[in-house]
Structure 1
C-alpha cells in the first residue's frame, strides 16, 4: 500500500504524510522548505510521474 497526503493552508504547502512513498515525502519536504505553491490538479493526476517541476504552480501576479 502506497499513500501520500499533502496538506495546505492559504494556498501554501504545509505538510506531507507518506506511507511507503519516499519520493512523495522527499519532494513534499523540498516544496515546504522552498515555500512553493502546489498545483492541486497536477498533484491528483496519477497518469504523470511525480516530479517537482510538474507539481509547482506558476505564481500569477
Structure 2
C-alpha cells in the first residue's frame, strides 16, 4: 500500500512539507536552498543536512513529473 502511495504521489515521502499545498511547499523549499547556493555557497557547502534535503526534494520533484 505504501509503495502504491509513493508511486501515485511521491510527495508523501518527503517529511516537513507542511499541511498546505505540498507542491508549492516543495517548490518554495527548493527555491530557498537554491538562493542560499547562489548567495552563500560556502554556507551551503558546509551544511550536509541542507545538501541531503536538497537532493531529497529534487528526487521528489522529478518523480512528480
Larger helix proportion, structure 1 or 2?
A: 2
The reply to whether TM is greater than 0.5 is: no
TM-score of the two chains, using structure 1 as the length reference: 0.31
* Larger-Rg structure: 2
TM-score of the two chains, using structure 2 as the length reference: 0.29
